[in-house]
Structure formats: structure tokens, C-alpha cells
Structure 1
Amino acid sequence: MRGVDTFTENLFSVRKLDDFVPTSHPLRSIRVMANEALAKMDRIFAGMYEADIKGGRPSIAPEKLLRAMLLQVLYSIRSERQLMEQTQYNLLFRWFIGLSMDDSVWVPTVFTKNRERLIRHDAVVEFFNEVLSIAQKKNWLSGEHFSVDGTLIHAWAGHKSFVRKDGEEDRDNDGGSGEGGFKGSKRSNETHESKTDPDARLYRKGKTASELRYMGHTLTDNRHGLVVNARVSRADGHAEREAAKVMINDARQAANDAAAQITLGADKGYDAQEFIEACQQMKVTPHVAQNTSGRRSAVPDAIARSVGYAISQQKRKLIEQGFGWAKTVGRMRQVMVRGLKKVDQMFVLNMAAYNLVRMRSLGQARP
């Protein structure tokens, strides 16, 4: 018997949002860990709003704001406007953020303004650190064996915005100027800068074309490939090694045992005498891939022959998974914010989300 195409709604419902989310849904364990991290950030959240004028319009709760930002990364949502649109009708999103069925969804511009407050007060960095502390409690970090690498991030700026700093117009080979006039002319970061994103740098690596870019850096723990440090710098030929020295020094300082044997795995791009010496001065064993192409490697042969070196070279490849995830699932292939500070915060948020996804899988494999 054919059913009748009718639609009838009940006047009242006794079901909760939690009833609509499957018990095995991956967001359940991620939300538990995210809430655990957010609960420890009450002091920083209070400091963010203590200077506000009393009696003003209530802002978005920072906990809800951070959970919404996590959803934007986890579900590859390209804009705040689209995020607010989906939150309007997506019960899963409302449940994860902490909105009831009857709560109004925020205006996109208000959401963006409140997000800027989190970035200003480094709340995203604090959230990343609290997520990492959860992994530490569960013994998912070795705290001694690390890998480092960098990746290029396309800036939200085009070639036409890259103009001379002195205000003069570029001229092409035929003496023309104006739109497209830069073709055939020499441009560099010393004489030019982007009008839309002054922090971006024209940079190329390997066989890639020169583009306006930033450079993202991560330090991962070799036990399970979790990211323990993340930062963004302006793109240049020395940025990777300089960022690596800062991150491994932080890891060295954070080690509980001052006599711990810290190792650092890296690719051939880090095989430079000054970097190897800097690692040894910090009492870090440099498990850097030897670059012997027409030159002598700075990595001692005694280190390269060790068993630990071979393990580090195998484990360091895990770092590429974080970069790949951030560029395909996250929104870091071409970041849609401008300025070094904002790009850095978005990169750190992506790595915090990546850690939560990996920790969720580790929790299932090692309850």
C-alpha cells in the first residue's frame, strides 16, 4: 500500500539534541577532549573581557566560539557566513557548539569580530597547549624524540598587489606600465611588497613558481606523530632552520629530565653546519638526513650509523600527515586571512584540530 505524502509536526518535542547524535559519532570524543581543554582556560577568558564596559551587549561565549572555529576546520567550511548558515539548520553543529534548538545563530560579522578577540589574546595558542597537556596525561608523548619540518602556505594576496615600496610603477620590457606591467620586470621583497598583505613574501622552493607565501613550521613527537609546537613565519631561505631551533629549544626546556637524550629528525634541508652545531649546543642529537650531493654532510657519521638515527628517519615522515591534513581538510593550502599574526593563529588552530582527530583514534586503539 502506497504511503501518503504528508508532513505533520508535533507542537512539542521531548527529545534533546544529544538524542540526535549517534553514540559512535567521532565528534563525541573530540568534544569531550575539547571541553576538558576549554575548562582550564577560564582565567584567560575572564581576562579577555574584564576591560569591557559594564552593561554592554553580551558577546559570544569564548568556549562556544572556539568550538565553532574547530567545526570550521574539521568540516572544511570556507567562510564564517557559511558556518553560521549551516549552524542554523545542522543539529550536529548546534550540539557540538553548545547551542540549543531555540538559540539564535550569530550574525557572521559579530562572529568575526569576537574571533579577533581570541586571536589578540592568544587564546588559540593556549587551547593548543591544553590539548597537548591531555595527550601528555594519557602518555601519548615521548617528550624526547622529535621531528621538524616546514611547509609553504599561499597568502590571500595576488601578484598584482605586489608593487614597489617607493610608489613608482613597474614597467615591462616594452616600457609599458599599469595593469600587467610587471611582466618581465625584476621584483624582490627588498623593493616590493603586497598592498593587501604586507607580511607575505614572494618566495619559491624547488621547482615551484614564485608566489606570495608564508611558511608554516611544526615540531612533532615521534611516538604517535602528535604536533607539539606550531608556528608561522615569513617565507625565506633560513626560516625553516631558525624556527626549528626555537621549537626544539622549547622542547629541551620542557623536558622533565635535564639529562634526557633529546633527538631531532629532519630532512636534508636542515643539513647545515650552523644548525647541527646549534643542536649540539642545546644537547640535542641531530638525526638530520645527510646531504652528500656534491658536498660533505655536517651530520657526524657516528650519529648517522646509530640505530636511533634510522628510527628517527622513519618516524619523521609522520610530520607530512599533519601538513597534508591541514591543507586538504583544514583551510591552510591558501589561507583566507591576512597578516602574520592571524595566519599563525589559524595554523595553530588547524594543528590543534589535527591533534584532536589523532587523539580520538589513539583513544579507540588504546582505551
Structure 2
Amino acid sequence: MMGPKQEAQAALFYEFSLEDHVPQDHLLRSIDRFVDLSSIRAHLADFYSHTGRPSIDPELLIRMLLVGYCFGIRSERRLCEEVHLNLAYRWFCRLDLNDRVPDHSTFSKNRHGRFRESELLRHLFETTVARCIEEGLVSGQRMAVDASLIEADANKQFSASKEEWDAGRIDVEAAPRAVKEYLDTLDEAAFGAATPVEPKYTSFSDPASQWTAARKGPAFFAYSDNYLIDTDHGVILDVEATRSIRQAEVGSTRTMLDRVRAKFELHPERLIADTAYGSGPMLGWLVDRKIAPHIPVIDKTGRTDGTWSRADFEWDAENNQYICPEGEALKQFRRNYSDPNRGPTGKGVAKYQALKHICQACPSKPKCCPKADCRKITREEHEDARDVARAIAKTSQYKLSVKLRKKVEMLFAHLKRILGLGRLRLRGPCGANDEFVLAATAQNLRKLAKLFPAPQHPRKA
């Protein structure tokens, strides 16, 4: 039998509880257990005036931002609408049915002001990492690092080549915020000073972004999102925004490792990364700090003409010489120098050479140096660290590290597909860093919620 037609009828009194209408298995219930905002009011105390009209609670703004990044709501205008309508979002933000949702412009005012000046978002991220460590998700023994390109909010049509871009004619006072941030970062290793090479195009709206075609497709403006993770459970230990070039990405690894050690006293036994991080200086930096580099070595000494390459020669560190496959020595110096300045310096490139008369009489000369009188080999400054990385690459632990390295790539896939951070909405180095830090915080909170879900309670009848 067809039931009666449903019609809305106004009631004089309502008995309603948000707590009863949020499902017990809702993701926000699990996330809420790990959100600790007790310290943010003290953290922001110096950035608020002691007089004037009371401001909106910063904890409310942070909770709303966490909702947006946890559920891929990128627009702050839409976020305000969703929090207004969604009961679970209201519950998480501690808003009752009659409470007003802040205007979207409040986020911009606070982000460009006290949030950025106090580094509140970084403080929030580090608080979440500390909770992950407290829950036993981080051992600090094995870490992995990688970078991913995130498209900037910039268009090629509003850009210029190096010849057309004249930074000296920029009116700093009238320039947009992203341009001012670009000028402020010209001396930073992550942005302006990362490389002397000028980009092909520079965006007028976001000049700090990098014009790149690293994906082997159409070029675009982008930033690099750099993650340092613990491979036990894929917890993000640190995050850094840089230009999308290898020098800046590698440099950010040193920054993140030093910061994690200073903040959480974590010093990894090994660092896992791809070939982009396998340069001599980077490997030398890791070896000096007693960190095993589980990284493929960037090696350009191989030969394509079938003759012996440097890898075919054995290095004799005790006697500072190479031994060729025929057993002959290639030395850097064949006599002792009384003046130490004329001997080996240990810096730059060292050259090792065999004796001419030995090479001329050697039966393997066609395989070694068919077009030269004698064989010469160069050895870079950080070749010892390269040898350490090559030796590690032959172990079974390295094969495990190759598999663990995929955990970073999985986090970037989750970042773009689930959280929707395939293109930035904020401009400038500070805007990119704010988005990356908030997204990494959301990913760690979702990780905690997944591994430690909220206990289920039967609903009241």
C-alpha cells in the first residue's frame, strides 16, 4: 500500500544532537582523536592585539582547513558552503547548528598575516609528526625522499622570455604578492639561487614557478613538492617546496634531514632515493654523516665503443692508484713531493696515468686505449662515496630499498588523485609551501585514522 505523501511541517521545538547524527565509522571521528590544537593559541599569542574586536577562533579556521585538505575541497569559498551544510563537518569544527560559518575571506587574511608570520602551519605539521612518533609509526632507521611536480597557478600566455623580463623595472610597492615573494627568494638555494641557468619563460603572475617539461610532455609552470618519509608506515616526516630543478630538489633533502634531526632527533641508518639524488656531492654529504646511501649512482664514465671503462679498473685506496685488468698500476704521482701543495689536494678531479712504455707493449691495448699512447683515468672528489653506494647496490638490502622507495610515489599519487592537489591554487613560494604542508598534515592524519580507527559504539535506539 502506498504510504501518505511526505510533507515538511514546522515544529515549535526540536531536540537535535550533532553527536547522534555523525556516523561512528566516519573518517572525521578517527581523525579528530589525533588533532591536537591545544598549543596554537599560545603559539599565536604574540601575533594578536590585546585590544579591539575579538577575532575568529584560530582553532576553527585550522579545523576547517583540515576538512578541506582531507576531503579534497580546494576552494575556500566552497569549503565554507560545505561546512555550513554538512553535519559531520560542523561536528568536527565544533560548530552548533546555530553557529555561523566564517567568511571565506577570513582565511586569506589570516594566511597572509599571522599564520605565515608565526609559521603556524609548520607547527601544526610537526605536532602531527610527533603524534605519529608517539603512536610507534616511526622508527627513523630507513627514510626515503622524492619530489613530484605540482602545476602552478600560472599560464604561459601571461609570461615572457628572459630578454623581455626585466626585474629591475618592477615596482616593488605595486607588485602582486607572488612577485614580492619571488624577489625575496632570489638568494635562497631552493628558488632564485638554485641554479644560474635562466628559465626559458618566466610567469608574470608567479615568477618563482619553474617552466619545465620534465614529464616528457608539454611544458608548464610548476613547483616541486619534496617529501621525506619513514618507510615503516609511510609517515611524512618533512615537506619542502622548491623550484622544479634537480639542484633545488637535492638541496631540499639536506634541509629536511637536518630539520628532522634537530626537531625529532631522528638520524636514519639509510636514505633511499632515485638516480636524481646520486650525484657525487650528495653521496659524499650522506657518507660524511654516517647515512648509507641506497641510491643509484650517476655515472657517466661508461664507454660505448667496447673499450674498458673505469669500472673495469680496480681502485687501490691504500696506495692511491688504479690497477688495470692486466695488473699494471695507474698512479697520480710517481715521486714524493717535499712541498705538500704540489701533491694530491683531495679536491676537484685527480688524474691517474699508466706508464707509456708499458701500455705500448700491452697485448690488451686495443681494448684499453687504442687511440692513445697510454691509459688515463680521472677520479672525482667524492668517488669514495660513489664506491660506497656502488657496493650497497650489490646487497640484498638494496633490493628491499628499491621496493620501499615506491611508498613515496604512492603518497604523491594519493596527494593528486584523492586529495586533488594536482594544481596549486595559491601563488608564490609561500603559497606553495602552505599548500604542501597542509596536504602533508592531512595525509598523516588520514594515515593515523586508517591504522587506529575510532572505536565503534552502538547507536542509541
The question of 1:152 aligning with 2:241 is answered: no
Per the alignment, residue 41 of structure 1 pairs with: 40
TM-score normalized by structure 1?
0.85
Per the alignment, residue 294 of structure 2 pairs with: 287
1:214-363 to 2 correspondences below 5 Å: 214-253=223-262, 256=265, 262-290=269-297, 295=302, 298=386, 300=388, 301-363=390-452
2:110 to 97, 109, 114: 114
Deviates more, 1:297-306 or 1:275-284: 297-306
| Superimposed CA distance per residue, residues 161-205 of structure 1 (whole angstroms, 9 cap, x where no aligned partner) | 212466579xxxxxxxxxxxxxxxxxx845752111121121221
The structure number with the bigger radius of gyration is: 2
Runs of at least 4 residues of structure 1 off by over 6 A?
Answer: none
* In 2: Cα distance, 1:231 partner to 1:112 partner: 21
* In 1: Cα distance, 2:145 partner to 2:28 partner: 29
1:119-158 to 2 correspondences below 5 Å: 119-158=116-155
* In 1: Cα distance, 2:50 partner to 2:454 partner: 49
Give the root-mean-square deviation of aligned CA atoms.
Answer: 2.5
Deviates more, 1:219-228 or 1:306-315: 306-315
2:92 to 92, 96, 111: 96
Per the alignment, residue 184 of structure 1 pairs with: none
Q: Specify which structure has the higher proportion of helix.
A: 1
Aligned identity (percent) is 28
Deviates more, 1:307-316 or 1:151-160: 307-316
- The amino acid of 1:351's aligned partner reads A
- Uncovered stretches (5+) of structure 2, i.e. residues with no partner: 167-196, 303-310, 312-382, 456-461
TM-score normalized by structure 2?
0.69
* In 1: Cα distance, 2:154 partner to 2:445 partner: 30
Deviates more, 1:223-232 or 1:205-214: 205-214
- Uncovered stretches (5+) of structure 1, i.e. residues with no partner: 170-187
What's the secondary structure of 1:319's corresponding residue?
helix
Deviates more, 1:100-109 or 1:200-209: 200-209
Deviation (angstroms), 1:149: 0.2
What's the secondary structure of 2:226's corresponding residue?
strand
Per the alignment, residue 330 of structure 2 pairs with: none
Q: 1:269 to 1:262 in 2, by over 3 A?
A: same
What's the secondary structure of 1:238's corresponding residue?
helix
What's the secondary structure of 1:14's corresponding residue?
coil
Per the alignment, residue 179 of structure 1 pairs with: none
* In 1: Cα distance, 2:32 partner to 2:47 partner: 23
Q: 1:225 to 1:365 in 2, by over 3 A?
A: farther
The question of 1:4 aligning with 2:5 is answered: yes
Deviation (angstroms), 1:112: 2.6
Deviation (angstroms), 1:249: 2.9
* In 1: Cα distance, 2:221 partner to 2:264 partner: 37
- The amino acid of 1:231's aligned partner reads E
Deviates more, 1:270-279 or 1:224-233: 270-279
| Superimposed CA distance per residue, residues 283-328 of structure 1 (whole angstroms, 9 cap, x where no aligned partner) | 2110113556874693533212334322222211111122112212
* In 1: Cα distance, 2:126 partner to 2:237 partner: 8
Per the alignment, residue 213 of structure 2 pairs with: 204
CA contact (8 A) 1:218 1:231 kept: yes
